[in-house]
Amino acid sequence: MRHLMSPMDFSVEELDTLMDLADDIQKDPAKYAHKCDGKILATCFYEPSTRTRLSFESAMLRLGGQVLGFATADSSSAAKGESVSDTIRIISSYADICAMRHPKEGAPMVAASKSWIPVINAGDGGHQHPTQTLTDLMTIRSLKGSLSDMTIGLCGDLKFGRTVHSLINALIRYRNVSFVFISPPELRIPDYIREDVLIRNGIKFKEVIKLDDVMPELDILYMTRVQRERFFNEEDYVRLKDFYILNKEKMTLAKKDMMVLHPLPRVNEISVEVDEDERAMYFKQVKYGMYIRMALILTLLELAD
Ligand code: NCD
């Protein structure tokens, strides 16, 4: 039995197969409409979510399966003090596969170690968010045609942003990918990513504070929200929350084919006027997220053929 805790759990070849399957599902959804008949997905969300939870649910429903679960910790027995280890043993009797989001780093991993069904990490604290990364990879591959030979700028909260951490881990495996990290000094990428992931693997990167200066070099700009819920005090959040605001004027500095991605939700970091720009891909990204989750569910349930 297989779980998904980090994007590294799949090899580059396996990721290709997964994305090919997602492509096929997108082309011919009817072929897959009953693949999960009689199967149940549990969504156990101890932290807020719109896209991730609903895209998992939509994915399972479109495969003919059914869903159950909870959307907040206080509506589950966690409020009574039940551990994730116990909860997953219970869920294992009710469902065939589980997507879990938790504010504590490593909680889905603990659940997976006690589970009798596949567990998918749907975001654990400031650590990883592998299915957002699958979404991002699928978006880039579909719209750019490849995951190699590009400069990707990651901008905003690079310290607490789990989507950023997972995406860096996944992208270093492709040829000639370099990074520009754009953040205020307080929100730089964590040391373990800089040392153990980037430097150790000889990846080209630089860290800057100003977005304007690097805009012309980027093939992709990945914007992120300042992660308010992970700050220790509100003052720091208020000081940093509007550090970057991507607007029309900044977009004039970018390449004609630069792509703007964002895992969403957006707060202020992308001005709504940018939505009209044909390089703004963040709403398209959402749809790819559903197809790749369909492919993932089929793969982990060993129904992909
Ligand atoms: C992201 C997350 O939960 O980490 N959202 C998502 O799943 N698309 C990004 C965020 O909350 O800022």
Residue 305 lies in a domain: no
Say whether 299 is catalytic: no
Q: Are residues 125 and 137 in the same domain?
A: no
pLDDT at 109: 98
The verdict on 117 and 175 lying in the same domain is no
CB atoms within 10 A of CB 8: 15
- The pLDDT assigned to 111 comes to 98
Residue-level pLDDT at 81:
86
Would you state the pLDDT for residue 219?
98
Q: Are residues 191 and 246 in the same domain?
A: yes
On whether residue 174 sits in a domain, the answer given is: yes
Q: Average pLDDT in the 4-19 region?
A: 97
CA of 163 to the centre of ligand 1 (A): 7
Q: Is the CB of 165 under 6 A from ligand 1?
A: no
Kindly state whether residue 193 falls inside one of the protein's structural domains.
Answer: yes
Q: How many domains does the chain have?
A: 2
135 and 279 inside one domain: yes
Cα(263) to ligand 1 centroid in Å equals: 6
Residue-level pLDDT at 79:
81
Q: Annotated catalytic residue: which of 3, 39, 101, 102? A: 101
Residue 189 lies in a domain: yes
Atom of ligand 1 nearest to the CA of 263: 8
Whether 2 maps to a domain, the answer reads: no
**How far is residue 78's CA from residue 47's CA, in Å, rounded to a whole number?**
12
Same domain? For 77 and 147 the reply is no
For residue 1, is it within any domain? no
Nearest partner of 27 among 135, 142, 112, judged by Cα: 142
| Cα 265 to averaged position of ligand 1 atoms, centre (Å) | 6
Q: What is the mean pLDDT of residues 5-11?
A: 96
Q: Is 87 a catalytic residue?
A: no
Question: Do 204 and 294 lie in a common domain?
Answer: no
Closest by CA to 47, choosing from 130, 106, 92, 104, is 104
Atom of ligand 1 nearest to the CA of 163: 4
Q: What angle do CA 84, 86, 88 make, to 5 degrees?
A: 65
pLDDT tens across 246-281, in order? 999 999 999 999 999 999 999 999 999 999 999 999
236 and 200, same structural domain?
Answer: yes
Nearest alpha carbon, ligand 1 atom 7: 52
Residues 97 and 165 in one domain: no
CATH code of the domain in which 52 resides: 3.40.50.1370
Q: Measured from the CB, is residue 293 less than 6 Å from ligand 1?
A: no
Active site annotation includes 52: yes
- Residue 205 main-chain phi, psi, to 5 deg: -155, 160
CA torsion sign for 17, 19, 23, 28 is positive
The DSSP 8-state label assigned to residue 189 in this structure reads: P
Q: What is the pLDDT of residue 78?
A: 85
- pLDDT one-digit tens code per residue, 203-233: 999 999 999 999 999 999 999 999 999 998 9
pLDDT at 28: 98
Q: Would you call the peptide bond into 265 cis, given omega within 30 degrees of 0 as the criterion?
A: yes
Region 230-237: what's the mean pLDDT?
A: 93
125 Cβ inside 6 Å of ligand 1: no
Measure 162 CA to ligand 1 centroid, in angstroms.
8
* Cβ(156) – ligand 1 distance below 6 Å: no
Average the pLDDT over 1-26 and give the result. 97
The mean-pLDDT minimum among 21-35, 70-84, 146-160, 214-228 falls in 70-84
Q: In this structure, are 123 and 137 located in the same domain?
A: no
The closest-lying atom of ligand 1 relative to the alpha carbon of residue 289 is 8
Q: Is 228 a catalytic residue?
A: no
pTM of the model: 0.96
Residues 78 and 157 both lie in one domain: no
**Could you identify the atom of ligand 1 that is nearest to the CA of residue 225?**
12
| Active-site entry in 39, 62, 129, 162 | 129
Residue ranges making up the domain that contains 228? 131-285
Same structural domain, 191 and 57 = no
pLDDT digits (tens, 9 = 90+) for 45-95: 999 898 999 999 999 999 999 999 999 998 888 888 889 999 999 999 999
19 falls within a domain: yes
Burial 257-285 (b: 16+ CB within 10 A, else e): ebbbbbbbebeebbeeebeebebbbbeeb
For residue 50, the CA-to-ligand 1 centroid distance in Å is 9
136 and 281, same structural domain?
yes
d(CA 291, CA 155): 26
Confidence of residue 183 (pLDDT cuts 50, 70, 90): very high
122 pLDDT more than 90: yes
> Stretch 129-142: mean pLDDT, rounded?
98
pLDDT given at position 213: 94
